[in-house]
Amino acid sequence: MLDRIMQNPPLRIAVVGGGQLGKMMTMAAKQMGFHVTVLDPTSASPAAQVADRQITADFHDGQAIRQLAADADVITYEFEHIDSAALIALEEGGQPVYPAPQTLRVIQNKLTQKEALAQADIAVAPFMPVAGYAQAKEAGEKYGYPFLLKACTGGYDGKGNALVASEGELADALTSLGDCELMAEAFVPFTCEVSVMVARSVNGDIKSYPLSENEHEENILRRSIVPAQVDDAVAARARAVAEDVMSLFGSVGVFCVEMFVTKEGEVLVNEVAPRPHNSGHYTIESCITSQFEQQVRAICGLPLGATDLLTPAVMINLLGEDGHFGPAMLVGCAEALSLPGVHLHLYGKKQTAPKRKMGHVTVTGKSLAEVEKTAALASHALKVVAQKEDV
């Protein structure tokens, strides 16, 4: 695809998913001169605001996906909960799809994902499949309490997970997760959660990014700190694990490998996402090559960019305030942007709701201490609320 740079017509990229990840991926692609079509069920999705074209249809609409492919030289996606079978069919018909849809199929299911990692001797928490109360009880006896029950497919931001603190909570946990394939996982008493963005090119080159230390509230990422405040040996080990994961799946594109760090310094893989990730947003301002440009480079057959960290960074998610539903309004913008090193990203979502990801702020500076202080002030100033209707 290298010969399609700066030619007319330009190389055409199709993105399944029009949310904020798709938007930032599209912005990187447009900056490099590519044509972008997005598929999303929401008209005027965030990505559609910057793309050349949107196909408005469900992610599982086979006809729409084929229409998307007809207008594309390469297909990628911004999240996992899509029809891998349709993408496999396109690939088998000769359509380049990155990351590989066979890899997507494995990663979409948390159980098959963990099985693949474990079989490759990549450290993960102990796990087992669960089909009903008896096996859930067996998991509690095997792993002790608390342990995690997880829906194997469809979960995100903590949805689809249940922390079971005692045998008496088993029945309610099973009911809350519904009638779906389940797995149990031992609870890891970690000291911190970290993630590594890692990319693989079409010729097999692999590059990882600096470690991000992630803080969650109610299972939603609130803050990422870079560099992560862990020993150099732990950071090196985590990057090596992420590169091993990328080698295992052997796919093209940018992946996120989320990990737990224990008090002994052990690194355990929690989850793998075959796409750019919220915890990698810091790369836009803080690294030579952003995760989104890297994705475009990888899927278009271009050399991977350098991943060096240029400056310490703190990324803060801007979530809809509790109790606020309706047309979105950002307050505190002027106050936050008067602070040094503050970079504001709004996703273009018209409606806010509690805990909905509406944007993020990345703060950069000369020292992490300085950056953390500024980030705290920016976070305090910025709120996403629902605009009051005129009476």
pLDDT tens, 311-324?
A: 999 999 999 999 99
Q: What angle do CA 151, 156, 22 make, to 5 degrees?
A: 140
Considering 3-7, 89-93, 109-113, the range whose residues carry the highest mean pLDDT is 109-113
- Cα–Cα distance, 191 to 275 (Å, whole number): 26
Place of tokens 């149990």: 184
Same domain, 303 and 353: yes
Where does the pLDDT of residue 4 fall: very low under 50, low under 70, confident under 90, or very high at 90 and above? low
134-167, pLDDT tens digit by residue?
Answer: 999 999 999 999 999 999 998 776 678 999 999 9
Instruction: Give domain status of residue 9, yes or no.
Output: yes
| Chain Cα centroid distance, residue 290 | 14
Give the CA count within 13 Å in the CB-facing half-sphere of 240.
10
CATH code where residue 329 lies? 3.30.470.20
pLDDT at site 391: 40
Enter the tokens of residue 82.
């899509």
Enter the tokens of residue 174.
């099973």
Enter the tokens of residue 263.
């008090």
* Nearest alpha-carbon partner for 309 in 336, 283, 330, 275: 283
Instruction: Give domain status of residue 112, yes or no.
Output: no
- Average pLDDT, integer, range 65-70: 93
Q: What is the pTM of this model?
A: 0.95
Instruction: Give domain status of residue 102, yes or no.
Output: no
The DSSP secondary structure of 42-92, one letter per residue, reads STT-TGGGTSSEEEE--TT-HHHHHHHHHT-SEEEES-S-S-HHHHHHHHH
Q: Greater confidence, 43 or 381?
A: 381
- Average pLDDT, integer, range 159-188: 94
Instruction: Give domain status of residue 336, yes or no.
Output: yes
- Cα–Cα distance, 362 to 368 (Å, whole number): 12
pLDDT at site 1: 53
- Cβ atoms of residues 336 and 240 within 8 Å: no
- Give the residue numbers spanning the domain of 76: 2-97
Question: Which residue among 157, 186, 215 closes a domain?
Answer: 186
Binding residues: 110, 150, 185-188, 193, 216, 270-271
206: CB partners within 8 A, 6+ apart: 198, 199, 200, 243, 246, 247
267-305, pLDDT tens digit by residue?
Answer: 999 999 999 999 999 999 999 999 999 999 999 999 999
Q: How many domains does the chain have?
A: 3
Q: Which residues of 155-194 are buried (b: 16+ CB within 10 A; e: fewer)?
A: beeeebbbebeeeebbeebbeebeeebbbbbbbbebebbb
Enter the tokens of residue 369.
């201490």
Same domain, 200 and 229: yes
Binding residues for ATP: 110, 150, 185-188, 193, 216, 270-271
pLDDT at site 17: 96
Same domain, 239 and 199: yes
pLDDT at site 72: 96
Helix, strand, coil % in the chain, rounded to nearest 5: 35, 30, 40
Same domain, 170 and 197: no
- Cβ atoms of residues 154 and 178 within 8 Å: no
